[in-house]
């Protein structure tokens, strides 16, 4: 698989979990009896929309159990090991982001792809899946609209994802590498506004909440469950249940802070799996603007610093969003994405990863997780959806 192949496949499993961890926060756990003023689903959605002006910080725990088969050691796929060596030297005892050690970014810089670490592409994907699976702890800081920091801890190692205005940083303490880029002007979300660019029709948050419910109601039952407590804070519990059995998703629970409307928690349950597939939980939450110094980042003096130009990447993304999109079959929870042979990443059919994780099925191979199925057919198509295998097979037969 080429690097672009990894980029296409990672979002299918990894991105939903990271988005949940970074943006939502936590599982709604009814650990104490709570009684709040009754609210309708529309009113709770309106609270969420209005919370987009709330700054906050907190600690959280994320557990991801996608029911994946035992992941093989990434070493099985080999590595050219051309990335930073392990003997680059110890970093200072100070927090590399605290700005107290002023540097002139003397680390090596280049314009290489951020995924070009010398590992094989299959090994990169295996490492990503291993990172996502299991339980992780993190801290998040948000100063809207353009400051964000997520610190993900893995034992003594730490990954930092930082946005400070137009600056974007990613620091990996395990490899002592830093990736730096800038937010392209066309993606500056501080300039976004309510409305449809085609119709120039503005919508109030209340109208957005009503439209959201109208859009999902045909496929989803939306209810308000018993009030809960998350990180010691009273919260409403919004329950989304698919109206179809032709999906792998059993339901989604969102805990919404009663004071600020910030979503504090999310649980995604999978069909025929007792434990949640995704469960992210704030253990502490403070609705105050974090210290500005938390968004300042200075790379360690001995770190490898790589510069990246995101403008071309965003242009391609924009062309994809407004140009040809992958074919889809069905709607709502039953949606299946169909990639034709020329859209399938080169080398996928011969990938060692496919041999390790996929199982042979009629007409191809199936990569199964509790929330997602991927069918790779013998004639080169790829079908993806949060649906049972039978649904993918039926769509493949119609192609």
Q: What is the pLDDT of residues 339-365, one digit of tens each?
A: 987 777 666 666 776 777 889 999 999
Q: What is the reported pLDDT for 34?
A: 80
- Averages of pLDDT over runs of 10 residues in the chain (399 residues) are 36 39 40 81 92 93 82 47 38 41 41 47 58 84 95 88 96 95 69 42 64 79 94 96 95 95 94 94 96 96 92 58 75 92 70 78 92 91 95 93
pLDDT at 70: 58
| Structure confidence at residue 214 (pLDDT) | 75
CA–CA gap between residue 238 and residue 261 (Å, rounded): 12
Cβ atoms of residues 139 and 145 within 8 Å: no
Q: Extract the tokens encoding 318.
A: 């924009």
pLDDT for 170 = 96
Residue 399: CB partners within 8 Å, gap ≥ 6?
338, 381
| Distances from the Cα of 312 to the Cα of 11, 134, 307, 395, angstroms | 20, 34, 14, 34
Structure confidence at residue 110 (pLDDT): 44
Residue whose token pair is 């392209």? 184
Q: Residue 155: beta bridge partners?
A: none
pLDDT for res 234: 97
Residue 175 pLDDT: 93
Q: In what order do the strands lie in the sheet with 147-154?
A: 220-230, 233-242, 249-257, 263-270, 278-286, 56-64, 134-143, 147-154, 157-164, 167-172, 177-182, 304-307
CA dihedral 309, 311, 312, 314 (to 10 degrees): 120
Q: Which DSSP letter does residue 22 get?
A: I
303 three-class SS: coil
pLDDT of 100 reads 38
> Residue 90: phi, psi to the nearest 5?
-75, 150
CB-neighbour burial class of residue 385 (10 A; exposed 0-12, middle 13-18, buried 19+):
buried
Over the stretch 34-59, which tens digit does the pLDDT of each residue have?
889 999 999 999 999 889 889 999 99
Residues facing residue 241 across a β-bridge: 221
What is each CA distance from 233 to 137, 175, 258, in whole angstroms?
A: 19, 38, 8
What count of other Cβ atoms lies within 10 Å of the Cβ of residue 225? Answer: 14
Residue 65 · residue 133 · CB < 8 Å: yes
360 Cβ contact partners less than 8 Å away, ≥ 6 residues apart: none
Sort residue 312 into left (φ over 0), alpha (ψ -120 to 50) or beta.
alpha
pLDDT at site 89: 37
Q: Which two tokens stand for residue 256?
A: 């919404």
Predicted local distance difference test score (pLDDT) of residue 193: 40
pLDDT score recorded for residue 137: 92
Model-level pTM? 0.74
């Amino acid at each position: 698989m080429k690097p672009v192949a990894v980029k296409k496949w990672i979002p299918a499993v990894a991105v939903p979990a990271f988005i949940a961890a970074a943006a939502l926060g936590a599982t709604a756990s009814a650990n104490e009896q709570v009684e709040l003023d009754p609210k309708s689903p529309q009113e709770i959605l309106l609270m969420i929309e209005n919370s987009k002006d709330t700054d906050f910080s907190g600690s959280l725990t994320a557990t991801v159990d996608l029911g994946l088969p035992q992941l093989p050691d990434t070493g099985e796929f080999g590595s050219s090991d051309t990335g930073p060596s392990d003997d680059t030297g110890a970093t200072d005892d100070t927090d590399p982001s605290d700005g107290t050690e002023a540097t002139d970014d003397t680390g090596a810089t280049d314009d290489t792809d951020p995924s070009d670490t010398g590992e094989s592409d299959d090994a990169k994907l295996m490492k990503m899946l291993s990172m996502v699976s299991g339980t992780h702890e993190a801290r998040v800081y948000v100063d809207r609209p353009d400051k964000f920091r997520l610190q993900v801890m893995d034992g003594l190692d730490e990954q930092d994802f930082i946005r400070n205005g137009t600056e974007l940083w990613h620091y990996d303490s395990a490899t002592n590498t830093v990736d730096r880029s800038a937010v392209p002007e066309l993606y500056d979300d501080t300039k976004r506004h309510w409305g449809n660019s085609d119709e120039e029709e503005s919508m109030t948050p209340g109208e957005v909440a009503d439209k959201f419910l109208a859009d999902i109601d045909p496929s989803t039952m939306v209810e308000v469950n018993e009030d809960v407590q998350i990180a010691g804070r009273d919260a409403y519990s919004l329950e989304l249940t698919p109206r179809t059995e032709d999906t792998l998703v059993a339901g989604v629970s969102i805990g919404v802070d009663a004071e600020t409307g910030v979503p504090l928690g999310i649980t995604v349950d999978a069909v025929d799996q007792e434990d949640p597939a995704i469960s992210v939980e704030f253990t502490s939450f403070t609705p105050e603007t974090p210290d500005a110094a938390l968004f300042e980042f200075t790379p360690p003096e001995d770190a490898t610093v790589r510069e990246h130009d995101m403008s071309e990447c965003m242009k391609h993304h924009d062309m994809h969003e407004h140009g040809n999109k992958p074919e889809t079959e069905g709607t709502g929870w039953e949606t299946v994405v169909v990639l034709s042979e020329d859209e399938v990443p080169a080398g996928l059919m011969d990938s060692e990863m496919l041999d390790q994780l996929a199982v042979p099925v009629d007409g191809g191979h199936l990569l199964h997780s509790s929330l997602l199925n991927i069918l790779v057919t013998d004639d080169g198509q790829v079908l993806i959806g949060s649906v049972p295998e039978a649904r993918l097979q039926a769509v493949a037969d119609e192609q």
